[in-house]
Amino acid sequence: MPNLENLKKQAKLILRWHHEQHYPVAAQIRALLPRFSHMHDAQILATNFKLSDAQELIARQRGFNTWQALKAGLSPTSRNAKSSPSKATITCAEPQLFVTDIKKSREFFQQKLGFSLVFTYGDPPYYAQVRRDAARLNLRCVAQPVIAPTVRDREQLLSVSMTVATVDEIKLLFLEFQSAGVTLHQTLKKQPWGAKNFIVKDPDGNLLLFAGPAD
């Protein structure tokens, strides 16, 4: 368990980021504090955000509902009841997609693929994150393609792979994207290794694989 003093410093850092109008912290506030869930980034950054709010956010990040509950969980008795992990656990991966137009790319993921916007960053925006269920994708604006389009298509150089749990879900997802008019690089196909998958091409030519079990 982290030291309480370090957590206090993290809360003060969250508060400073809010005061300095850092948009990524608005996404954290919206996701973790229910009273801010209906606000967009600009509204969150304009609201009166206090140290107690930042402390609650830190607590919720660690599975506690309140700062007081977090402090109780950090008591010597609680610390002794929990063994230290033998190694670190990676809890999330966020692929980076290189795009030439953040707004166009964001609209594609939201309107065509059913993702929601987590945050945008920069003025004008040059970075954004979108998510659907457990999948999070980071969109990074670049001036020109990082990979030659002909090479990417010929070699099927995937930018990201996303999976669903059942054969019914992969079919539903394929039909959803097909009805939305999404450009398909590969239609739904059963593979020799026991999976069904299809590949979507985004406006910048990035290849997005969606996969599920075949049976």
pLDDT for 82 beyond 70: no
For residues 173 and 67, is the Cβ–Cβ distance under 8 A?
no
pLDDT attached to residue 159: 95
Report the C-alpha gap between 214 and 211 in whole angstroms: 9
Higher pLDDT pick, 132 / 84: 132
Between the alpha carbon of residue 136 and those of residues 67, 75, 147, the distances in Å are 28, 34, 22
* Fold of the domain built from segment(s) 149-213: 2,3-Dihydroxybiphenyl 1,2-Dioxygenase; domain 1 (3.10.180)
Give Cα 175 to chain centroid, integer Å. 24
Average pLDDT over residues 159-176: 95
Residue position matching structure tokens 């402390």: 55
Assign 83 a pLDDT band (cuts: 50, 70, 90): low
Question: pLDDT band at 174, cuts 50/70/90?
Answer: very high
Q: Which of 127, 194, 129, 207 is nearest to 162 (CA)?
A: 207
- 0.85 surpassed by pTM: no
User: What band does 147 get if pLDDT is binned at 50, 70 and 90?
Assistant: confident
Give the range among 39-53, 67-81, 153-167, 172-186 with minimum mean pLDDT. 67-81
Token couple for 200: 């979507």
**Mean predicted confidence (pLDDT) in 18-33:** 88
Distances (CA, A) of 62 to 32, 77, 157, 203, 208: 11, 18, 37, 38, 32
Between CA 201 and CA 136 the distance in angstroms is 17
Q: Is a pLDDT exceeding 70 seen at residue 81?
A: no
HSE value, Cβ hemisphere, 13 Å, CA-based, for 78: 10
Predicted confidence (pLDDT) at residue 52 exceeds the cutoff of 90:
yes
Q: What is the pLDDT of residue 138?
A: 95
Residues contacting residue 37 through CB under 8 Å, at least 6 positions apart: 30, 31
Q: Which residues contact residue 40 at a Cβ distance below 8 angstroms, ignoring those fewer than 6 apart?
A: none
The separation between CA 46 and the C-alpha centre of its own chain, rounded to angstroms, equals 23
**What does the block give as tokens for 104?**
């166009």
Contact assessment for residue 72 and residue 99, using Cβ atoms and an 8 Å cutoff: no
Angle at alpha carbon of residue 45, lines to 44 and 50, rounded to 5°? 85
Domain locations in the chain as residue ranges: 4-81, 96-141, 149-213
Of 19, 74, 81, 89, nearest in space to 49 by CA: 19
